[in-house]
Structure 1
């Protein structure tokens, strides 16, 4: 795959919540700071809004029909209590809208003249169609590929490459290298991998979360590369090597289109630096 004024409280997690997180989220707990209160994102993303956002995810034309469910997303988010939970209300809503926009682009089934418009067709796919390779980086010795396995894009964020499957599986409690199919066998696991990528810093890249909540502090190299906070920087983190540093990229514009629609539904503005056309990739 870094600080503005934060709303804080000294209240820790309740005991039942702690045990739920411990048994459900494995090693993720080691990075959770319980000084920030946990509120379910369902308060900001009720099921009615989720359904308004993903109008066609269960259309018969979508290969992921009935896979991505609202309860699975809410359960997955419990493993990442800072997601949608840092900063003022507008920032929290904007982060959720940005996350949903990015995963919508990654799984889109929309087209220009689609019913309800192209930005109503997110979460239509759960795995990459016609992958160009098995996405095995054989030079990565820390997360070696398992024979016969493909690390193609899967799940809402289209997690790909062995160096993502390995650490994601370790954090979430499944063997990402030997069993990458786990991402498409469980809706909750699929959402967890997307949130893991969103919340995890992968140097030199900051986390998408830190960028959207104002915790990103650009280095001198980042400033020289024009990598400034905003939705465009999130796109750079996710797929900057292919999409950023060029004008009018259709993929970038598609991500922006989703974000603009979702931000409107959440009742927030989209913030600065929507695109990454003037940013150097990481």
Structure 2
């Protein structure tokens, strides 16, 4: 179910606000252990650890590191309100707490579970982003603009679900200039719109596809027909459910239906693909937008084997037209290299 963005009202004694000044970072050191969420400075640029790693170079792989905008705490601006975590206290979805010097947002209601126990209940949060999630989604994309983009959307696809998911991917719509951030979120939503008919379809219409690679060691425990498309990116195939679940700390291989029943999880699987997968392309859609390759390369990374290089120009045009509409709503240019 969708995670409501209700925040526990803090007491006067416990209320605190974090101003969006320069974010906290350390200079990168080769061989030093870094946990996910660590921010480092390397060769005059900033990077955030996407996964724990033993000091790999930030420019080696976007699986371990992503470029990060360290001005204004990841581009979010503003402040967020939080309370210090208290064991046994009831927290509703959307509550923000501080625990052992880090911030977390409740993905689901819970009776005071430790924020480090499970990403089902808590996710790391960028408290310099003003509660917008990720790179300050609330500032880059307002709820009114989201509703304008998707006037006929399924009520499952909530704005709060999107912003909650963005908290898990702070580099998304949080890297580069405000123009680049808005171009990236427009590009992602344009592709998601294309995949779902305007955020209308939560599940694939034709579910009679055998999307199971049984050669994988984990197989298809929910049957060979259980891994059809779901969510904004229409996550498909057992290996994608497995890998997305591994990244998010969720057993999606055994519970693929969660992608169609929990808005935050559904959005997270879409952002997982966008930020970490190259698909049939040569770069992630995230890198395509922040490194200037252009919108066309996001198409290639999502469905390039079927649509690009003349494969299906009508489908490519549909994606491009939607992207042009969305950057218009956000008030930024579309940029170059729109086609693949």
The verdict on how the C-alpha distance between 1:10 and 1:84 changes in structure 2, with shifts beyond 3 A counting, is: closer
Give the TM-score normalised by the residue count of structure 2. Answer: 0.62
Instruction: Report the counterpart of residue 221 of structure 2 in structure 1.
Output: 146
The verdict on how the C-alpha distance between 1:19 and 1:187 changes in structure 2, with shifts beyond 3 A counting, is: closer
Q: Out of 257, 262, 268, which is 1:192 matched to?
A: 268
Question: RMSD in angstroms over aligned alpha carbons?
Answer: 2.9
1:6: Cα distance to partner?
A: 6.8
Q: Out of 234, 246, 259, which is 1:170 matched to?
A: 246
Inter-partner Cα distance in structure 2 for 1:198 and 1:247: 22
1:56 aligns with 2:145: no
1:202: Cα distance to partner?
A: 4.3
The verdict on how the C-alpha distance between 1:247 and 1:193 changes in structure 2, with shifts beyond 3 A counting, is: closer
Instruction: Report the counterpart of residue 180 of structure 1 in structure 2.
Output: 256
Q: Out of 256, 265, 269, which is 2:329 matched to?
A: 265
Inter-partner Cα distance in structure 2 for 1:39 and 1:170: 23
SS in 1 for 2:298: helix
Q: Is the 8 A contact 1:144 1:177 kept in 2?
A: no
1:8 aligns with 2:8: no
Structure with more of its chain in strand, by fraction: 2
Instruction: Report the counterpart of residue 104 of structure 1 in structure 2.
Output: 193
Q: Out of 284, 290, 310, which is 1:207 matched to?
A: 284
Q: Out of 138, 146, 162, which is 1:42 matched to?
A: 138
Matches for 1:178-257 after TM superposition, within 5 Å: 178-202=254-278, 205-214=282-291, 229-246=293-310, 249-257=313-321
Task: Give the stretch that moved more between structures: 7-16 or 169-178.
Answer: 7-16
Inter-partner Cα distance in structure 2 for 1:39 and 1:244: 30
The verdict on how the C-alpha distance between 1:84 and 1:257 changes in structure 2, with shifts beyond 3 A counting, is: same
Give the number of equivalent residue pairs. 235
Q: Out of 178, 182, 188, which is 1:89 matched to?
A: 178
Q: Is the 8 A contact 1:145 1:162 kept in 2?
A: yes
Kindly provide the CA deviation profile for residues 87-126 of structure 1, in whole angstroms up to 9, marking residues without a partner as x.
0110011000001100000001xxxxxxxxxxxxx10100
Inter-partner Cα distance in structure 2 for 1:167 and 1:159: 11
1:273: Cα distance to partner?
A: 1.2
Bigger radius of gyration among the two = 2
The verdict on how the C-alpha distance between 1:240 and 1:129 changes in structure 2, with shifts beyond 3 A counting, is: same
Structure with more of its chain in helix, by fraction: 1
Q: Is the 8 A contact 1:93 1:266 kept in 2?
A: yes
Inter-partner Cα distance in structure 1 for 2:167 and 2:295: 24
Kindly provide the CA deviation profile for residues 145-167 of structure 1, in whole angstroms up to 9, marking residues without a partner as x.
11425111100000001111001
Higher RCO, 1 or 2 (CA under 8 Å, sep at least 6)? Answer: 1
The verdict on how the C-alpha distance between 1:54 and 1:78 changes in structure 2, with shifts beyond 3 A counting, is: same
Inter-partner Cα distance in structure 2 for 1:94 and 1:248: 24
Inter-partner Cα distance in structure 1 for 2:68 and 2:214: 42
